[in-house]
Structure 1
Amino acid sequence: MTLTPQTRPRHGYRRPSAVHHRRRAALLLVVSAVLMIFACTRASAATVSYEAAATLPQVVGNITGWVVGILAAVATMFVTIGGLRYVMAGGDPSEVEKAKRALKSAMFGYGLAMLAPTLVTVLQGLVGAR
C-alpha cells in the first residue's frame, strides 16, 4: 500500500485503539457514577423541610438545598454528555475538545454544588442574618 498525502497519518498522531476507547469509557463511567453518588448523598444530606419556614435561616437552608440539588443534577447531565461525546468522537480532535469542555463544565458545576453551603454561610455572615 502506497501512502499518499491523504492516507498518510499526520505527524505525531496515532489513532487510539478500540481497547483504549473502552478503557477510557469504563473509567469515565466509574468517575461519573462516583460523582453522581456523591451528589445524591450531598443533596439528601441537606434535608429540605416542606413545611412553612418560620425564620430566615430556614428559608436560606431550604433554598441552599434546592440549589445544591439542581447544580448536582446539571453537572451530572454534563458528565453524561461529555462522556458520550468522548466515546463517540472516534479520535476526531474537534469532538474530543468539545467533550473535554463538557467535562470541565461538569467539574465546575460539582465544585459549585460543594461550595454552595459554604458560600451561603459566608454571605449570611456578611449580611448578619444568622
Structure 2
Amino acid sequence: MSPTPPDHLHVPRSVRRAGWRRAVLFVAVVGVFVLAGGAAAFAQVPAPTAPVAPDLNTVLNNIRNWIMGILALLATVFLSIGGVRYMVANGEPGEVGKAKDSFRNAGWGYGLAALAPVVVEILKQIVGG
C-alpha cells in the first residue's frame, strides 16, 4: 500500500481545473486585446480608384502573407496553451503529455509558416505567374 500525501498537500481536481480555466481565460483576453490593438494601429482606408490586385504575383504574394500570418498566429496560440498547460500540470504525466503535444503542434505551425513562401513559389510555377 503506497503512502498517501498529507491533506494539506493534496489539491482537489476541481481546484486545479478552476485554475486551468482562469489561466486559459486570461491568455484569451490578453490575446484579444493584443490583436485588437494591433489591428486598430494599422487601419487604413483604401483609395477608391486603386485596383485591389494589379497582377497575379500580387495576389499570390497576398495569399502567402495571409497563410504565414494565420499559421504563425495559430502556432503562437498553441505555444501559449502548451506553456500554460505545462505550468498548471503540477507534474501530472497526462497533462505534461498534453502540454508537449501543444508544443509539437506549435512547432509544426511555425514550420509550415516558414514553408509558405515555398508553397507560393510552387503555385506561381503551376499557374505560370
Please give the alpha-carbon distance, in whole angstroms, between the structure 1 residues aligned to 2:70 and 2:128. 24
Identity of aligned residues (%): 45
CA distances 1:73-97 after superposition (whole Å, capped 9, x unpaired)? 1100000000000011010000000
Aligned to 1:80: 80
- Structure 2 unaligned residues grouped into runs of 5+: 6-45
Matching of residue 5 in structure 1 with residue 5 in structure 2: no
- Structure 1 unaligned residues grouped into runs of 5+: 9-49
Please give the alpha-carbon distance, in whole angstroms, between the structure 1 residues aligned to 2:116 and 2:60. 11
Q: Secondary structure at the match of 1:122?
A: helix
Please give the alpha-carbon distance, in whole angstroms, between the structure 1 residues aligned to 2:61 and 2:123. 13
Letter in structure 1 aligned against 2:85: R
Aligned to 1:56: 56
Could you tell me whether the CA contact under 8 Å between 1:56 and 1:129 is conserved in 2? no
Matching of residue 129 in structure 1 with residue 128 in structure 2: yes
Report the TM-score when normalising by structure 2: 0.61
Aligned residues: 85
**Higher RCO structure, 1 or 2 (CA under 8 Å, sep 6+):** 2
After the TM superposition, which parts of structure 1 deviate over 2 Å for at least 4 consecutive aligned residues? Answer: none
